Amino acid sequence: MAIDWFTVGAQMINFLILIWLLKKFLYRPIIKAMASREQGLVDRLQGVETQMSEAEQLKKRYEVSLQQLDSDKDNILAEARRQAETDRTLQLQSLNDEMQLKKHQFSEEMHQQQQELGGVINRVIAEKTLQLGGKILSGLADQSLEQQIVEHFLQNLAKLPDAEQSVLQQALSQDDTATIISRFPLNETQRSKIRSRVDQLAPVREMVFELDNRLICGITLEAGGRSWEWNIERYLAELEVELLKPLE
Amino acid sequence: MLNNPDQIILWQYGIFKINATLAFTWAVMALLVGGSFLITRRLSVDAPISRFQNLLEVIVVEVNKQIGELSQRQPERYLPLIGTLFLFIFVSNVLAVVPGFIPPTGSLSTTTALALTVFIAVPVYGIYRVGLWRYLKQYCQPNVFMLPFNIIGELSRTLALAVRLYGNIMSGSVVAGILLSITPLFFPIAMQVLGLLTGTIQAYIFSILAMVYIASATPKSERNL
C-alpha cells in the first residue's frame, strides 16, 4: 500500500491542530477543575483540622474547667462542712452559755425569792411572835409587850459595859438632842422613864420620840451620830436561819 | 475489498486534495473537540459533577497516571500529545463499527503521520528537557561508533510504530472483508466486536510506545518527578 505524502503532511497538521484544540477545550479545563476541587478539598481538610484542633483545645479547656469546678465544689463543700461544724459548735456553746446564764439567773431568782420569802416569814413570824409574846406577856404580868421592851431596853442600857457607857455619855453630852425611835407609840409613862434614865447618864436638853415601821420590834437611842438599840431582829435572824435551812 | 481511504478522493485541486482519510479525520476531530467543548463549558468544581465530566476526568487522570508510571516524570507536559494520540486512535477505531465509516487509522498515511509526529516529538522533548548538546551526545553512547546504529534504531522504531498500527487496523478490515465473502452473515459481526477490542488495545499500545520512546530519549539521571 502506497503512502500518500500529501495526506501524511495534512494528517500531521490535523493532528497538531487536534492537540492544540484538545489542550484548550479538554485537558486544561479538566485539570483546572480537578486542581480547584483538590485545592477545595485541601482547604476544607485544613479547615476541618483547624476546627478539630480548636475543638480539642476547647475540650481541654472544658476539662480543666470541669476539674477546677470539681475541685472548687469539693473545697466549697469542705468549707461549708467546716463552717457548719463551727456554727454548730458556736451555737452549742452559745446555748450552753445561755443555759448556764438562765440557770444562774434562776438560781439568783430562787435565792432572791428565798430571801424575800425569808423576809416575809421573818416579818410574819415576828409579828405573830410579837402578838403571841404580847398576849403572853399581857396575860402573865398584865403589862404590854411594849412596856417589857422598854424595860428591857433600859436594863440593857444600864448593863452596858463601862467603856460603852462612857461612849454613850460622851455622845449624849455632845449632842443636845437625843432621839428615841420605836415601832409603836410610847405612852407618857414610858417616855418619862426613858427620859429619866437618859438623864441619869447625861443631861439632855431635848428628847425626840419618833416612830419607824421598819423596826420589827424594838427601840433605838440615837445621839451624837451613834445609836444603841434593842430589837428582836437578832432572834428573828436565828429563827430565819433555822426556818430556811430546810429550804436550801 | 481493501478500502484504502486515501484513494477515495472527494475533492482535488492540483496536488491539494480532500480524500476520505482527511474527511473522516476531521469528523473524528469535530467529535472530540465538539464533545469536549460541550462538556467542559459547564464544569463544576464541587460535587455533584456530570457523568460526562466524570468520564473526561477519568480519562485524563488515567492517561496522566500511565504517563507518570512510564516516564517517572510530571505527566502534564506529555499529556496533550499522548492523550490526543490515544483519544484519536481510540475514537477512530471504535467508530469503525459505524456502517460507512472508514477509520483514518486504517490508512498508512495517517499512521505514518502519527509515527512521524512521535519521531519529531522524541528529540523535541529530549532537547527541551536536557539541552541540544547533551541530547545529541546520547547518540554517541557508549562510543561514537554506535552513532549510525543509534540513528538506524531511531528510524526503525518510527517505522515499526507506523506499521504496527496500520497493520492491526488494516488487518481487521481485511479479515472482515475476507470473512464477509465466505460467511456473509454472523461471523463478520463477531470480527467487528473483536476489532473493537484490538482497536482499543492498539490505541493503548501506540500511546504507551510513544511515551516509552520519548521517555527513553532523555537521560535517566534527568528522570525525576
* DSSP letter string, A129-179: HHHHHHHHHHHHHS--HHHHHHHHHHHHHHTS-HHHHHHHHHHHHH-SEEE
Of all residues in chain A, the percent with pLDDT exceeding 90 is 38
* DSSP letter string, B169-210: HHHHHHHHHHHHHHS-SSHHHHHHHHHHHHHHHHHHHHHHHH
Of all residues in chain A, the percent with pLDDT exceeding 70 is 86
Of the candidates A9, A22, A29, which has its C-beta nearest B43's C-beta?
A: A29
Region A237-247: what's the mean pLDDT?
65
Judging contacts by C-beta atoms under 8 Å, the chain A residues touching residue B88 are: 15, 18
B81 to chain A, minimum CA–CA distance in Å? 6
User: Does B92 touch chain A if contact means CB atoms closer than 8 Å?
Assistant: no
Within a domain: A56: no
Judging contacts by C-beta atoms under 8 Å, the chain B residues touching residue A37 are: 45-46
If one compares A223 and B225, the residue with the highest pLDDT of the two is A223
Within a domain: A86: no
User: Does A42 touch chain B if contact means CB atoms closer than 8 Å?
Assistant: no
Of A133, A132, A118, A128, the closest CA to residue A243 belongs to A118
Q: Which residue of B has its CA nearest to A4?
A: B109
Within a domain: A224: yes
Q: Take residue B11 and report the three cell numbers written for it.
A: 475533492
Structural domain containing residue A232: 144-247
Q: Is the pLDDT of residue A110 over 50?
A: yes
Of the candidates B29, B43, B166, which has its C-beta nearest A33's C-beta?
A: B43
Rounded CA-CA distance A225/B151 in Å is: 166
In degrees, rounded to 5, the angle at the alpha carbon of residue A57 between the alpha carbons of residues A52 and A60 is 125
In degrees, rounded to 5, the angle at the alpha carbon of residue A104 between the alpha carbons of residues A98 and A108 is 140
pLDDT 10s digits, A52-109: 999 999 999 999 999 999 999 999 999 999 999 999 999 999 999 999 999 998 898 8
Q: What is the DSSP letter of A225?
A: T
Contact between chains at A17 and B29 (C-beta distance less than 8 A) = yes
In this structure, the number of other CB atoms found within 10 A of the CB of residue B194 comes to 13
Contact between chains at B45 and A19 (C-beta distance less than 8 A) = no
Q: Take residue A44 and report the three cell numbers written for it.
A: 476544607
Within a domain: A115: no
User: Does B21 touch chain A if contact means CB atoms closer than 8 Å?
Assistant: yes
Within a domain: A166: yes
Residue indicated by cell numbers 468520564: B55
Q: Take residue B52 and report the three cell numbers written for it.
A: 460526562
Within a domain: A167: yes
If one compares A42 and B167, the residue with the highest pLDDT of the two is A42
The angle that helices A5-22 and B20-40 make with each other, rounded to 10 degrees, is 0
A155-158 own/partner pairs: CB under 8 Å, 24+ apart: A156/A228, A156/A230, A157/A197, A157/A201, A157/A221, A157/A228, A158/A197
CB B214 within 8 A of CB B121: yes
Rounded CA-CA distance A235/B14 in Å is: 179
If one compares A9 and B221, the residue with the highest pLDDT of the two is A9
Contact between chains at B40 and A29 (C-beta distance less than 8 A) = yes
pLDDT number for residue B131: 86
Give residues 53 to 72 of B whose Cβ lies within 8 Å of A.
53, 56-57, 60-61
Rounded CA-CA distance A133/B45 in Å is: 136
pLDDT grade, residue A216 (50/70/90)?
low
Of the candidates B6, B36, B81, which has its C-beta nearest A7's C-beta?
A: B6
pLDDT grade, residue A236 (50/70/90)?
low
pLDDT number for residue B220: 57
Rounded CA-CA distance A91/B145 in Å is: 119
pLDDT number for residue A92: 92
Contact between chains at A31 and B60 (C-beta distance less than 8 A) = yes
Strands B16-19 and B9-13, by their bridges, are: antiparallel
The set of residues, in sequence order, having a beta carbon less than 8 Å from that of A190 and lying 6+ positions away, is: A146, A147, A150
Contact between chains at B110 and A7 (C-beta distance less than 8 A) = yes
Query: What torsion do the CA atoms of B55, B117, B124, B64 make, to the nearest 10 degrees?
Result: 10
Give residues 131 to 190 of B whose Cβ lies within 8 Å of A.
166, 170
Contact between chains at B45 and A10 (C-beta distance less than 8 A) = no
Question: Domain tally for chain A?
Answer: 1
Complex ipTM, two decimals?
0.89
Region A144-166: what's the mean pLDDT?
81
Contact between chains at A4 and B109 (C-beta distance less than 8 A) = yes
Contact between chains at B108 and A3 (C-beta distance less than 8 A) = yes
Within a domain: A31: no
pLDDT grade, residue A237 (50/70/90)?
low
Q: Which residue of B has its CA nearest to A1?
A: B108
Rounded CA-CA distance B16/A82 in Å is: 112
pLDDT number for residue B223: 45
Judging contacts by C-beta atoms under 8 Å, the chain B residues touching residue A18 are: 29, 32-33, 84, 88
Rounded CA-CA distance A198/A203 in Å is: 7
Of the candidates A3, A15, A23, which has its C-beta nearest B117's C-beta?
A: A15
Of the candidates A3, A19, A34, which has its C-beta nearest B112's C-beta?
A: A3
User: Does B108 touch chain A if contact means CB atoms closer than 8 Å?
Assistant: yes
User: Does A11 touch chain B if contact means CB atoms closer than 8 Å?
Assistant: yes
pLDDT number for residue A212: 82
CB B86 within 8 A of CB B203: yes
Of the candidates A7, A9, A19, which has its C-beta nearest B107's C-beta?
A: A7
Rounded CA-CA distance A206/A135 in Å is: 34
Within a domain: A22: no
Contact between chains at B56 and A40 (C-beta distance less than 8 A) = no
Q: Determine which of B26, B41, B84, B173 to mutate to test the interface with A (most A C-beta atoms within 10 Å).
A: B84
Name the phi and psi angles at B28, rounded to 5: -65, -40
pLDDT grade, residue A184 (50/70/90)?
confident
Judging contacts by C-beta atoms under 8 Å, the chain B residues touching residue A15 are: 84, 88, 113-114, 117
If one compares B156 and A217, the residue with the highest pLDDT of the two is B156
pLDDT in tens, chain B (225 residues): 456 788 888 888 888 889 999 999 999 999 999 999 999 988 888 778 889 999 999 999 999 999 999 888 888 889 999 999 999 999 998 998 888 888 898 888 898 899 889 888 888 988 888 888 888 888 887 888 888 898 898 888 878 877 777 777 677 667 767 777 777 777 777 777 887 888 898 889 889 888 888 887 766 544 444
Contact between chains at B81 and A22 (C-beta distance less than 8 A) = no
CB A215 within 8 A of CB A185: no
Region A148-177: what's the mean pLDDT?
82
